[in-house]
């Protein structure tokens, strides 16, 4: 089912401070606790965003903006020949809003072709759940999507 837009959105509330969640989004050693097996991240405008998500599927792009503890924007695409979403063709914007002892994370992934929205939505649902577990001090266990 399509919404007629070129994006997907997700909004979750995490019982953790924005500072902790932010570090899980920009630190290459911390991001792999919830998504991917290896990461090359340079979180500054124009810096590299590259994550080996499964051992077979690699996403890459560059950071467009980074506002400590509140917002990260980076381009996204797959390094594979059989995708319409190639590096730099879509954009992920994550906004963190701290409210007391919890933080609302709002993700908007735009520039997605209609055929890829559902699969990216399922992917973000999977990884945001794992992020929530890690941010609250839990262990998400092995990622079943890793090769």
Centre a 10 Å sphere on the Cβ of residue 85 and count the other Cβ atoms it contains: 20
pLDDT tens for each residue of 83-114? 889 999 999 999 999 999 999 999 999 999 99
Model confidence, pTM: 0.94
What is the model's pLDDT at position 120? 95
Q: What is the mean pLDDT of the segment spanning 27-50?
A: 98
CA distance 61 to 31: 15
Residue ranges covered by each domain of the chain: 7-135
CATH 3.30.530.20 holds for 7-135: yes
Mean pLDDT of the chain: 95
Residue 122 predicted with pLDDT over 80 = yes
């Amino acid at each position: 089912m399509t919404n007629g837009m070129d994006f997907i959105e997700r909004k979750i509330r995490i019982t953790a401070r924005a500072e902790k969640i932010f570090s899980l989004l920009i630190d290459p050693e911390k991001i792999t606790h919830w998504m991917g097996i290896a990461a090359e991240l340079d979180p500054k405008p124009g810096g590299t965003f590259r994550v080996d998500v499964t051992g077979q599927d690699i996403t890459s792009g560059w950071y467009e903006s980074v506002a400590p503890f509140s917002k990260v924007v980076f381009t996204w695409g797959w390094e594979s020949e059989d995708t319409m979403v190639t590096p730099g063709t879509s954009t992920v914007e994550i906004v963190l809003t701290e409210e007391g002892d919890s933080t609302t994370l709002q993700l908007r992934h735009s520039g997605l072709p209609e055929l890829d929205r559902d699969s990216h939505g399922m992917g973000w649902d999977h990884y945001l759940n794992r992020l929530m577990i890690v941010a609250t001090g839990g262990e998400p266990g092995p990622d079943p999507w890793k090769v």
